[in-house]
Amino acid sequence: YQRGFYPVGGGRIVVSIGPGGLRPLELLERGPRLSVTARAIVSGLPVSIGRREIAEIEKVLALDRSETVEEPAPRGPGNIVLIEVRSGSLTEVFVGFGQKGIPAERVARGAAEEADRYLRSSAPVGEHLADQLLVPLALAGGGAFVTSPLTDHSKTNLEVISKFLPVRFEVVEVPGGVRVEAKKA
């Protein structure tokens, strides 16, 4: 893989997928919390930016581990913070992208506050992952997950996917959020 940073870009990842179809996925419980880690990556910028981001994250979250990484072959200036919450059933990732004119602390705090909201909820699937899971569930013809209340973006995706694929989604309120289930139409 190769990291890419805005505005230059150039990120690359290669994935090999073997034969076989998709199977329904169920993410109904988070399981025990295993770890919360943070990584700040800087490219063509002072490493102190990453250190400031980690310090800001630590004001919001109790971290099990953190690191600041300096990109060895910068492809333009940029930075990113990644917060990983590992649980028994899945790993949820929260991201903050550095932007010109936005203080590093603000970027880090946004990602940390999103991770904190997730940790305070009981839902195993965060709001951005919920949106990304909809197409694979539809293609598999089934599956379910529990997430915090759906974003407007996720609600729109539910409608659009149902227009193109033979699937229907059921959304039911449960304690702490909603249960989204995909079924063959």
Active site residues: 153
CA dist 148 and 67 (Å) reads: 29
CA dist 184 and 145 (Å) reads: 16
CA dist 126 and 11 (Å) reads: 24
CB crowding 66-100: b at 16 or more within 10 Å, else e = bebeebeeebebbbbbebbbbbeebebebebebee
CA dist 38 and 61 (Å) reads: 10
The whole-angstrom distance between residue 152's C-alpha and the CA centroid of its chain comes to: 17
Q: Give 157-161 contacts, CB < 8 A, sequence gap 24+.
A: 157/131, 158/134, 161/134, 161/135
CA dist 129 and 91 (Å) reads: 10
